[in-house]
Every structure is written in C-alpha cells, then in structure tokens.
Amino acid sequence: MLVGGLAVHYLTRRDSGNWPGAVTMDVDFGISLAAEGGQYGPVQSDLAGLGFKPDKEQPNRLVRQVEGVALFVDFLTEAPSATSGSRTVDDVVASVVPGINRALESRRTVKVAGRDVYGAEQNCDLAVADIGPLLVLKLNAFGGPTGRRHPKDAYDVLLAVTSFVDGPRAALEGFRAEGARGNTGFDTAVEALRRDFSDINADAPLRAAEFLRGTLDDALQVRQELVTAAKFLLGE
C-alpha cells in the first residue's frame, strides 16, 4: 500500500488553486509485519531485476537511477513496542514507523495510469493510505520521534488538508478519528502539530515556505495557511 508523498499526490486535487501539487522522487510502501511468510513474495529480488539496489548511505532504501535522477523505494512497517529501527518482512528490510497498521486498515483505491520502467503504458488500481492515517504519518515524518524535518513533509501536510479530494472538513474528521481508533502515532502527531506547526515562526511553516521557493508574499501566505491548517486539525 502506498504512503508518503505519492499518497498525498493521489489524494489531493490538481486544481487546488494557490499551490503546486505534491512533488516526490520517493516511493513509500506500507507492509504488514504480521504477513511475512510469502505474502509479498521476493519483492526485493523483483525490484533488483528492475535495477533497484540498496542505497550505499541508507541500506534500508532501494534506489535506481532514472535519467540521472535517483528514484528511491522505501518499505515501512509497524512492530509492537518499537518506534524506530527496522524489521525484515520476507526479503524486504522495512523501517519501523508507528501508524502504518492503521494506514493498512484504512485505505482507498485510486486509478493510476502511466508508463512502467520498460516504457509500456499501464493502467491499474492502487491502494493508498486514507487521509487520517496519512496525516498522522506525515506529521510524524516531519516532527515525530524520528522525524527528518524535511521541508517537503511540512508542505505535504498543508496540501493534504487544504486540497484533499473530499474537502478540508473530511481531512479534519479523518485525522481526529485516528485518536479514537488506536493509531499508535496519533499522540506524537498531535505533539508535532502543537510544537512545530501552530505558530507562523515555528519550524514547519518556515520550512514549507522554503520548499515552495516563491516570492516573499507567497512565503508569508504559505506560512499563514499552514498555521491555520494546524489549528484546524487541533480544533483551536
């Protein structure tokens, strides 16, 4: 199941108005630790046949050069009582990320069309994390216990709320429902919202504006809108 920036891409409108859509060269897949034993097959072997190799700097990631650009594939899973580290699922080394199990439970299917690595046109149905679990994952990717504080993750939170295909209110309801549904990443996601997203001079608004690289007016607007989205999610 698809999580991360591509999931944001497929769950947001292209005609959202002010801001460009989600941009990523990473493909993040959520997989279940409980399903090891053949369910996924020789995934890493199959990807190796397509030119993906373990990244030298981060062995948990697979990478392939596409016209001089690095395309990364990451696998994420959830493990009891663990908030970081990695686990092996079949032949895949997956990073441990709280909240992945809820994303696997709450998914939607989108239509995807494009060219595969061989250049052939393909059309398929793809499972992606639904908006509530996805926002939990994105908030923790930025400001959670192992958050990377990447500007793109902060910007993705803005898009996921303001440009969600079912509307901002549905994004709000989906996120808040994760607390009652036992999402193991929910509490740290709320902490990240309060600490990193709720003030115009906090880390996330500043980094989101840097990612956009627009005018000074654009930077101020994206900071203001991200703070508004954070307070919206917090119910403030």
What pLDDT is attached to residue 36? 53
The pTM of the full predicted model, rounded to 2 decimals, is: 0.90
Q: Give the position of tokens 């608004």.
A: 205
pLDDT digits (tens, 9 = 90+) for 72-105: 999 999 998 888 999 887 778 889 999 999 999 9
Q: Which long-range contacts (CB under 8 A, 24 or more apart) does 79-85 make?
A: 79/33, 83/145, 83/146, 84/145, 84/146
Query: Across residues 207-227, what is the average pLDDT?
Result: 91
Least confident residue range of 33-42, 48-57, 189-198: 33-42
What pLDDT is attached to residue 206? 97
Q: Specify which residues 189 forms β-bridges with.
A: none
**Is the pLDDT at 16 greater than 70, yes or no?**
no
Quickly state the pLDDT bin for 38 (edges 50, 70, 90).
low
What pLDDT is attached to residue 136? 98
Give the N- to C-terminal CA distance of the chain in Å, as an integer.
Answer: 32
What pLDDT is attached to residue 124? 93
What's the token pair of residue 100?
């992945």
Of residues 37 and 10, more confidence is placed in 10
Cβ–Cβ under 8 Å, residues 223 and 209: yes
What pLDDT is attached to residue 69? 87
Query: Across residues 178-184, what is the average pLDDT?
Result: 96
pLDDT digits (tens, 9 = 90+) for 102-138: 999 999 999 999 988 778 999 999 999 999 999 999 9
What pLDDT is attached to residue 34? 57
What's the token pair of residue 82?
């663990």
What pLDDT is attached to residue 211? 92
Task: State the DSSP code for 15.
Answer: T
